Chain A
Amino acid sequence: AQTVTQSQPEMSVQEAETVTLSCTYDTSESDYYLFWYKQPPSRQMILVIRQEAYKQQNATENRFSVNFQKAAKSFSLKISDSQLGDAAMYFCAYRSMKSQGGSEKLVFGKGTKLTVNP
């Protein structure tokens, strides 16, 4: 079974600075997806960024980028120019690319609480 580990329960960053959130995972599969979800105090789950394992290029979405190291099974999220609105819980998640008859569930880490200081 796949597992996702986020070793930083909490992180803080100054507004306009850069912060990196860590995620490692364990799988025997070669094809999969990795995601970062943001959960603000409203508790809505919002997709931040996604990475396909077969792609060597790291995904980027505006101020958000990832450092995907497949061999090391590492998937960190970098937030540049941090804004107050970035404050939230961030969850790393794994999903198999292998079709499982309509499942393809997400496996989440425990999350990292990000505080942005003005």
Chain B
Amino acid sequence: EPEVTQTPSHQVTQMGQEVILRCVPISNHLYFYWYRQILGQKVEFLVSFYNNEISEKSEIFDDQFSVERPDGSNFTLKIRSTKLEDSAMYFCASRDGPYNEQFFGPGTRLTVL
């Protein structure tokens, strides 16, 4: 069964460093998402991406964040200068049509020291 994959599963970085989180959505999907879950809290929407552009972003998604679909298969989230409060689980999700469910990847745990 097709699935969304994410790498790495766990990333440890120093405050101020740049990180790139990678996702490979399901191959025929067109809509892509990043969500964040700080430990013990609810899952929060960061950004959605469709037709090679951001369709919506939350107020969390400030200038330190960017997304890209560089090669038609990967979907990346970049954090330019990480802060301690960026420590969280980051989930990628994708779906194929506007009325269909989102499929989630297993998440990347980001730890900022």
Which A residues contact B (CB, under 8 angstroms)?
35, 37, 42-47, 50, 91, 93, 97, 99-111
Contacts and interface: CB of A to CB of B under 8 A. Distances in A.
Contacts of A101: 50, 55-56
9 contacts: A42-B106, A45-B104, A91-B43, A99-B98, A101-B56, A102-B51, A105-B45, A107-B45, A109-B42
Interface of B: 31, 33, 35, 37, 41-45, 48-51, 55-56, 89, 91, 93, 98-99, 101-104, 106-107, 109
Contacts of B55: 100-103
Contact of B33 (A42, A43, A105): A105
Contact of B106 (A43, A93, A102): A43
A91 B45 CA distance: 14
Contacts of A50: 101
Nearest to A91: B43
The 7 closest A-B pairs by CB, nearest first: A102-B50, A102-B55, A103-B56, A45-B104, A105-B45, A103-B48, A108-B43
Contacts of A97: 99
A104 B98 contact: yes
Nearest to B30: A102
Contacts of A43: 37, 89, 106-107, 109
Contacts of A104: 31, 48, 98
A91 B49 CA distance: 23
Given A44-B104, A47-B101, A102 B31 contact: yes
Contacts of A111: 42
B9 to A, nearest CB: 10
A97 B102 CA distance: 13
Given A35-B101, A97-B99, A106-B102, A44 B107 contact: yes
Contacts of B103: 47
